[in-house]
Amino acid sequence: MALGNWPISVELPVQWGEMDHFGHVNNTVFLRWFESARIAYFQHLWSEGPSSEAVGPILARMEIDYRLPLQYPDTVRCEATVTNLGNSSFRMAYRLFSEARGDVIVAEGDSVVVMVDYRSGKSVTLTQKLRTAIEAVEADG
């Protein structure tokens, strides 16, 4: 079982309106991009989308390092990977590349995703089916 293979990648244009008064892409936008990579990953795990089931993933923690400022125009590529499987949670990492800056990493993130029963709000154990699905996605990376 090998994790951390960065199997998922989404490409997104920087939109002018994502810049704030400082003339840089606002810090909240990076989390939107991380989310888009995370959801693209989830599409491989829950074909109907996570919201259609009684048990699903929630974001419990995020760490983000903003390494370089971004500006419009640019195109970013956000990669995601699962780096660790816990009992009822797993870790996902993210890295963001800027085309305008020559494809260097401009931000990195690390998050904890917990599987919860949406009705009770309680965490639930990762199923073997989910573990296998994650490993299959990583094996394609």
Structure tokens at 74: 């640019």
CB of 125 closer than 8 Å to CB of 89: no
Angle (nearest 5°) at CA 37 between 36 and 43 = 90
Structure tokens at 34: 């991380």
- Per CB under 8 A, 78 contacts a copy of itself: no
| C-alpha 77 chain-centroid distance | 12
Amino acid at 37: A
- Least distance (Å) from a copy of itself to the CB of residue 2? 27
Residues 140 and 7: their CA atoms lie apart, in Å, by 6
- Per CB under 8 A, 69 contacts a copy of itself: yes
- Per CB under 8 A, 66 contacts a copy of itself: yes
Q: Which of residues 82-121 bind a copy of itself (CB under 8 A)?
A: 121
- Per CB under 8 A, 122 contacts a copy of itself: no
- Per CB under 8 A, 52 contacts a copy of itself: no
- Least distance (Å) from a copy of itself to the CB of residue 84? 17
The residue within the footprint of a copy of itself, chosen from 1, 2, 28, 128 (CB under 8 A), is: 28
- Per CB under 8 A, 123 contacts a copy of itself: no
Burial class (CB in 10 A: 0-12, 13-18, 19+), 62: middle
Structure tokens at 75: 């195109």
- Least distance (Å) from a copy of itself to the CB of residue 89? 12
Chain positions contacting a copy of itself, by CB under 8 A: 10-13, 15-17, 19-23, 26-29, 31-32, 35-36, 39, 43, 51, 56, 58-66, 69, 72-73, 121
